[in-house]
Homo-oligomer: A and B are copies of this chain.
């Protein structure tokens, strides 16, 4: 059995792994979980005994294959619940995270299987993040930040690199949605702001901070 705390530790370690390097520091974990560094040291020793992570004093922590499986399964559940909340319960993409954080810990393989079927086996969650399959496998995602694109390109907005409510709400307010087509008209060299046309119709100015966090794919397929 995996306790709630364990699940949250493993998930947090996974997320830090994802962007950061190969080992996860005590303080990074403490930050992410909002607990003291001392608590992290304690806890990490316990889950290391359970072979969920490898741990070396003062050298950080790393998920084992077993730990990774558990973490990815939590992420799978989280994202499926988010899809459900948005598509079936009418929630907005900036309203689902906290609820999904609770739902993700409900234990029942059969439930998740049926939920997946009910949702018609979605590939991504409402923020465009890939939903891993029941075996922990992620379909490759080929998107890149809009910032890395150049003038004249026509791309499709398929995900966000930043999940904060303020960013999501900014996008909603400015009528930017997953699936939108973005044509890059000009890029201002000085501040990296983009002049774009959304869905062949609406002209918008996007700051660097924004284009950095919009994930897009080349428009064709």
Alpha-carbon separation in the docked complex, A89 to B95 (Å):
23
Smallest CB separation, A102 vs chain B (Å): 5
Tell me if A's interface is mostly helix, strand, loop or mixed.
helix
Chain A residues engaging chain B, CB cutoff 8 angstroms: 85, 88-91, 95, 98-99, 102-103, 106-108, 110-111, 114-115, 118
Contact at A102–B106, with CB atoms within 8 Å?
Answer: yes
Which of B95, B98, B99, B107 sits near A102, CB closer than 8 Å? B107
Number of copies: 2
Chain B contacts for A89, CB-based, 8 A: 111, 114-115, 118
What 6 additional pairs, Cβ within 8 angstroms, besides A89-B111, A103-B106?
Answer: A85-B111, A99-B108, A99-B111, A102-B106, A102-B107, A106-B106
Chain B contacts for A107, CB-based, 8 A: 102
- Chain B residue with Cβ nearest A91: B114
Chain B contacts for A118, CB-based, 8 A: 88-89
Would you mind naming 7 contact pairs between A and B with Cβ atoms under 8 Å apart?
A89-B114, A95-B110, A99-B106, A99-B111, A102-B107, A103-B106, A106-B106
- Chain B residue with Cβ nearest A114: B89
Smallest CB separation, A13 vs chain B (Å): 24
Smallest CB separation, A97 vs chain B (Å): 12
Chain B contacts for A85, CB-based, 8 A: 111
